[in-house]
Structure 1
Amino acid sequence: MHKTDKLTVTPLAKTAFGASVELPDYANNDPANLNDDDFEQLFNAVHENLVVVIPGQAELPPKSQYLLTKRFDPTLPEPKDVAGASYGHGKEFRHSQSVLRKDGTSVKSQPQVQILGQGVFEAGEPGNDNDETIKLTHPSHTTFHHTPLTEDEIKNEHKTRFYRWHIDSALYDLSPPVVTTLLGIKVPPATQTQTIDYADGSGDVLELTQGATCFVSGARAFKNLSEEDKQFALNTTVEYAPHPYIFISPAGATSDGLTMVSEGKEFAFDKLPEWEESKIKKLPMVWTNPVTKEPHLQLHGCCLYKMHTKKEDGSVETIDLVEAREKAHKLMRPSIAPSEVLAHSWKQGDLVIFFNRGVWHSVTGEFKGVGAEGKDERRLMHQCNIASSNDPICVR
């Protein structure tokens, strides 16, 4: 077995961003054990490469995953309660009307870590430390998109969609996490491929393995904008709806998962759970990477409500929901072209750490379900991201 006394970072082959990491021997295959110097190298690697993969972590304890995730943001306080309100997986995500209501359950012993996946897992199976059977459902575009693929396109043509391009964040009250860690504990063999259907007449096609997680670099997205659009982005603040995942739940997403189709179906604000004006998130459209100092185009096209743009004369123009969605789509669509997407094909034990303030990402893939037909497609993952104490900033 190869031995190393230092942390090693290797850029991923044939991709514009991303890297793999080999841990030093003293860490005992647990990245939470890294000394300060090696963690600083990992910290920089995540910010510079945006997506980092550490293989062979299938047995990483939830506590280690939490401690590692928390270490990326030294401003974080200790959790306020075990229900999860302080780190973004509390009532907001589990509300019965939220589009995120089915996205997993918490690890009871470490509730900052979420259990995601597909299938039924008995108590005691690897990855299910809870004392009960859990049933997991992989998010499918068929329940979220305005006009989903047909059953024939999914089953016989093996097509899929980007489910929802997003940044991990509650986008109400809580600040976006710095990083997300995502651990593949039970992963089906990567033998089946599916094809992304962009469904926009562009002819774009992206073939990937079933259930791949896709990433886009916000730095490349900004760099690829026209000079006019760069100035617009740099001078624009994005206002998100209160309880945005509940606000959008009656609506349907565009076929590329970038934003929502505007039909006036969103919940009226007076029909939402109680909310406060002071907790509404108004974030810059461009966030500065604290390590590279690069500008990243970072917006959540599904959850936005308005844009506020500072004009040359100092006045501020407000762009309302329908036009704001159209503008977001125009800015974001070029960056989900096949050549821009890093589609991570999961291997059992992969720990993916991504700079949540520097990428957008999307679930992909269709699974057969939890019955006998889908018994070989079970998968279980642990996810951890923790709301920061501070909002991202744009340094001009």
Structure 2
Amino acid sequence: MEPLKEIYSPDWIKNLSYIVTQVDPKIKPEVFQKKILDVSWKKFELKERINRIAEVFLYFWDAPLLEIEPKLLHLIESLRGNGVSDFNFPYIFVNDIVTKSGLDDFETSMRVLEQTTVFSSAEFAIRYYYQTYFDKTIKQMEKWSKHKEAFVRRLASEGSRPMLPWGIGIPSIKKNPNIHLRILENLWNDENEIVRRSVSNHLNDISKIQPEIVVDFCKNKFGISEELDKNLKHALRGLLKKGNQTALSFFDYNPKWKATNLKLQLKKKKIKIGESLEFNVRFVNPSQTKTKLRIEYKLAFLLANGKYGIKVFQLGEKVVMPKEEVIIDKSHSFKPITTRVYYPGIQKISIAINGQEYPTTNFELVIVSK
């Protein structure tokens, strides 16, 4: 799979340059392309490429944001006119242009970001304003949480997350993760799924810092609709994986339930990187009543430092009948992926049901011999 940074191909830059020159005829396409695609371009990773594009714009538009604003908004309209849809990740550099030229002008920046976030999310850009204008930014985000445009409402939740992936850290938010509860209260039952999903992710972030806040937030919100219940479950996913008893009880999982005769069998106890671990799980429901089960497996991956990193994966959710035997066959791929490095050695697997973890089984991961 091609690295994400390759979305910014030479052809993509060339097409962008033609639109840029329509907005600002003083910028010649070939000069714009050359400025971006210099000798260092191929070495740049994704963020560096985004940064370079923004810097090249500011090379030509060397002015405060207030003066750049008309050109930037004209650029967005021209891109839309050329078939570029809104909420389009590759054009996230438009928000970098705002922060690089307008960090000393809060009011203009907020006015512009309110528009650019619809075209390409400003969730990373707004973090710089938290650093510089913390209280003013909170008030702005609260105002945006009631905005008529869904992508602006989403920014109010997404940009304020305590642990936003790729976003710069804001210690004051991590220290007080309840600081945005008013925003989340405004948005948790928003009409738009993309906004609700952001709230779920924000709440999941908080659950890693102060789980009791999330439990308290969710406890009286169930039963309005199936869709909202799904969003609440997504918000609680981290706590469910950790076996939080209160979170489990929200969904009628009995954390005190225990399987009878649980057996975890591996097809092979030694597999090569690139192969799959195949395993079988069997157990019996000892109860005299129907029981709702959340079934997971936990993999403890060996890390470079000799310690283990644990990941939890779903095996399914199931209502089992009295004395019913459950049999599950599953395989887990160990093909190399960009988000995880596999280290050879002893790895571990265990089963968890309704938050209760059962004994661990070891297996060995080995390097493919050449």
Higher strand content, 1 or 2: 1
Structure ranking higher on relative contact order (CA contacts 8 Å, 6+ apart): 1
Q: Do Structure 1 and Structure 2 share a fold, with TM-score over 0.5?
A: no
Structure with bigger gyration radius: 2
Higher helix content, 1 or 2: 2
Alignment TM-score, normalising by the size of structure 2: 0.29
Alignment TM-score, normalising by the size of structure 1: 0.27
